[in-house]
Amino acid sequence: MNWNLRREEVLNGDQLREMLNHNPSGAAQAILGAARENIVDAQALLGQILLDGTGIERDPALALQWFQIAANNGHAMAHNMLGRCFEHGWGCSADPARAAVHYQLAAEAGLDWGLYNFANLLGTGRGVKEDQAGAISLYRQAAEMGHAKSMNLLGRYLEDGRFCEADLPAAYDWYRRSAEGGDFRGQFSHAAVLAHQGKLEQALDWLRIALAGGNLSFLRVSRKVLLAAEHPQIRALARDYHARAAELGDESDAAELARIRIL
């Protein structure tokens, strides 16, 4: 593979992925060169690799600057990433109100992640006035675009009948679609429905898939839910969730694992 790509070729998805996998520093230099030549997609990519430390020294503050440059040039994902930075305090002080501004701009541009993230703030009233109906509308828009995380959250609203009319068949279908779309929380939700329907083996399969892809926060919550499950096979799977959390977490997770082993 020739790594000396022209600036325009840097943005070819397949070539870029191969470069990042096999020569991350070379890919970073190519992205940097393209960003300096005012290629907007490269500016947003540069922000991302600076935030992640991929092929280049991690620098969240500099990442924020490049996201701002790309956003000023009309890049919807750069607005979304500025929102993420301001929400979580990456390279700046956390500022949910500023995060909301950028998420809204990304949402208005039709970006599924912008719709999802702005919906999260509307649903929790962080940085913006709480608006549950608005959150549901945005989750639905993103879900209909194929955004798996939005599918799961829309399903929760429809299952619980919170701030909308309950619709269990629609909720269960969104959970299924979210699970098939790769969201670990959607996989967990879909598994719960399958278990309730008596489809235990299918439920266990989806719980194992969710376990493999879930993050620490998810594992910590889910392991408690599994311990309270009706089916012994599902309760037994809680040990695997505890073990994975202990691998990813801290001493408290190791202590939880030790405790679960004697139950």
Query: Does pLDDT of 189 surpass 50?
Result: yes
Backbone angles phi, psi at 77, to 5 degrees: -65, -30
pLDDT at 2 over 50: no
End-to-end CA distance of the chain: 55
Of the listed ranges 7-16, 56-65, 199-208, the one predicted with least confidence: 7-16
Q: Which of 7-11, 174-178, 214-218, 241-245 has the lowest mean pLDDT?
A: 7-11
pLDDT at 126 over 90: yes
What is the reported pLDDT for 260?
83
Q: Output the CA–CA distances (angstroms, integers) from residue 236 to 127, 165, 227, in the order listed.
A: 41, 35, 8
Residue with tokens 């798996």: 148
Tokens of 3: 């790594």
C-alpha to C-alpha distance for 234 and 192, rounded to whole angstroms: 10
Q: CA 111 → CA 2, 42, 76, distances in Å?
A: 33, 18, 7
Q: What share of the chain is helix, strand, coil (3-state, %, to 5)?
A: 75, 0, 25
Burial class (CB in 10 A: 0-12, 13-18, 19+), 255: exposed
Mean pLDDT of 21-31: 89
